[in-house]
A and B are shown apart, each in its own frame.
Chain A
Amino acid sequence: MSSIVLAASGIDYTYPGGVQALQGLDLTIEKGRKLAILGPNGSGKTTLLLHLNGTLRPSSGQILINSRPLSYDRDSLTAWRRRVGLVLQDPDDQLFSANVYQDVSFGPLNLGLSEAETRVRVNAALTALRIDKLADRATHMLSLGQKKRVAIAGILAMQPELLILDEPTAGLDPQGAVHLLGVLQKLHEAGTTLVFSTHDVDLAYTWADQVAIFVKGRVLKQGDAATVFADQELLRAARLKTPLILDIAQVLYGGWHACAADGPPRSRAALLRLLQESIDRSGRDGEPESIRVRR
């Protein structure tokens, strides 16, 4: 399929010292999708992401970019990282410069862009993340959420086709998370393919098109969010909870298979709408008791 931009095929990776982090992992990333890699902490998600931008090299198996195996010489890696941007979980690992503007300008300059072009890109990236006002602030005086946005702006200024984020919402307060997701949604709508790791089932369910369930170095299943989360067996095996929205929909309809033609609700808003409809319906029937949800 031509729409697969990046794929991992049967990759194994063992850390020096013998800890096996990945074992026979398969993953495909389709163009223009939002893919969540969902798994518990410490299961090797970061290791996987580091493979996707060529920082780590699998001991066996292959990373395929546009269906061609990647080579690990300097030039190929440079070309690869030009297309695939990776944002690390801890922004302090990525921000090296004293002020925000300088830091964001680093990536575009490395691409060999001119000073004028770089300035355009830096300003665009700062605007996209709504941090223009931070441009001449000191990196070390920013909050975690601001640092995260600066780190993302630094990658965004390189205009990658594929943006990989390691736990983008970790450590953010709810408002910061909502803000960040809003920005990412805009990027997605502008055509960027997004891949992010998370241990948050609700985030993966409401926000991703596709979910890969990642346990102990393997992807147990990858598919549409609705399909993956329908598989109770799988969730149990991965020790994951069902997303709260699905849980409620299930109670409401006695199994969400029965819900509606367009499938179970995917967002908080959709769920609330369904709840309201259900309450309204029972109101019309003149049976106040029937507001009681069916079991």
Chain B
Amino acid sequence: MLAIDRWAWTNRWRRYHPAEKGLLAGGMLLLAVALPAPTTGPVIIAVMFLATVAGAGIPALTWLRVMALPGAFLITSIPFLVLSLDFSSGLSVALSPQGWEPALHVVLRSLAAVSCLTFLTLTTPAIDLVPLLRRLGVPRPVVEMMLLIYRLVFVFLERAASARQAQIARQGYAGFRNSLRSLGLLVTNLFQRSLERAQRMETGLAARGFQGELRVLTPQWTLSQFRLIIIISLLLGVAATGLALDAAAL
């Protein structure tokens, strides 16, 4: 998760308007859902791979790693898509030959969809999407909570990591009993520290004129017409290619 966040903040396309990246990912996602999977799916995966790796400059290995997690879930679920259950005479389980095709469809469709989201998560920090959410009508308190949680997760992780290091240095995780005890202590300690942190943060925010509303301005992004045109033609191109391949296969 930290690696994803790091890339999201430092990739080559970081300074592009989040809406542009959102349009590309969202548009492809729609195509992945709407068009026939066996032909469109691979095209979308290829395009999103190129956009992420060649475009935004994310190492291919990182892309693979991020894809691997949902990918693994998908692959382990293939058997269950292929098996057919028959309840007519008791319970009988059989491999159904017709099951392969829909299973392949589901896998390709899902992988295509995952590749779209992988692109978005690797190129756009979650927090850049918040103004978009606000514009899409998500209520202010929810958005403010997201802002705060996003920041505090990292403060908390830092704390947890350094506390764990300190425990490891004193043999805190040598053996099962020690590990359990150390983990317990760590959790209690983090809880207490979080409360203290919350209190100090209240002071810090009050010093900055906090009056119950977390209003901030985001850096100004500029939408590039050039890139928008490319994205839209890419979407149309992928749709056309997918449909043409599908027609040729029939």
Contacts and interface: CB of A to CB of B under 8 A. Distances in A.
B2 to A, nearest CB: 10
Contact of B214 (A96, A115, A136, A155): A96
B206 A81 contact: yes
Nearest to B126: A98
Given A81-B209, A93-B197, A106-B208, A136 B151 contact: no
Residue among B152, B205, B209 with the highest chain A CB neighbour number at 10 A: B209
B208 A154 contact: yes
B139 to A, nearest CB: 19
A101 B219 contact: yes
Interface stretch (A3-11, A137-145, A214-222): A137-145
Interface string B1-14: 00001100100001
Given A78-B209, A101-B219, A140-B158, 8 more contacts: A85-B207, A93-B197, A93-B204, A94-B201, A101-B217, A106-B214, A115-B217, A136-B219
A118 interface: yes
A87 B6 CA distance: 28
A50 B206 CA distance: 11
B69 interface: no
B15 interface: yes
Contacts of A85: 207
Interface string B188-232: 000000000100110111111111001111111000000000000
A158 B204 CA distance: 14
Contacts of A96: 147-148, 151-152, 201, 204-205, 214
Given A106-B214, A110-B210, A92 B155 contact: yes
Contacts of A138: 5, 9, 125
Smallest CB-CB A-B distances: 10 pairs: A110-B209, A140-B154, A94-B204, A98-B127, A105-B217, A102-B216, A93-B200, A86-B207, A93-B204, A107-B208
Most buried by A among B125, B147, B208: B208
Contacts of B155: 92, 140
Contact of A53 (B150, B154, B207): B207
A90 to B, nearest CB: 7
Residue from A50, A136, A139 with most neighbouring chain B CB atoms (10 Å): A136
Contacts of A92: 155, 197
Given A109-B215, A140-B154, A88 B204 contact: yes
5 contacts: A85-B207, A102-B218, A119-B217, A141-B6, A158-B208
A39 to B, nearest CB: 20
Contacts of B152: 96
A35 interface: no
Contacts of B217: 101-102, 105, 109, 115, 118-119, 122
A93 to B, nearest CB: 4
A119 B219 CA distance: 9
A98 B208 contact: no
B9 A141 contact: yes
Interface string A106-130: 1101110001001100100000000
A137 B211 CA distance: 26
Interface residues of B, number: 34
Interface string A220-252: 000000000000000000000000000000000
B207 A78 contact: no
A55 B206 contact: yes
Nearest to B215: A109
A155 B216 contact: no
Contact of A97 (B200, B206, B216): B216
Contact of B147 (A94, A97, A109): A97
Chain A interface size band reads: 35 or more
B15 A155 contact: no
A103 interface: yes
Contacts of A90: 200
Nearest to B8: A138
Contacts of A81: 206-209
A77 to B, nearest CB: 8
A215 to B, nearest CB: 24
A106 B217 CA distance: 7
B210 A55 contact: no
Nearest to B157: A140
Nearest to A151: B204
Contacts of B9: 137-138, 141
B203 A55 contact: yes
Given A96-B148, A115-B217, A78 B211 contact: yes
A99 interface: yes
A242 B204 CA distance: 34
A82 interface: yes
Among B6, B155, B197, the one with the most A-chain Cβ atoms within 10 Å of its Cβ is B155
Nearest to A100: B219
From B148, B204, B210, name the one whose CB has the most chain A CB atoms within 10 angstroms.
Answer: B204
A53 B197 CA distance: 19
B203 A50 contact: yes
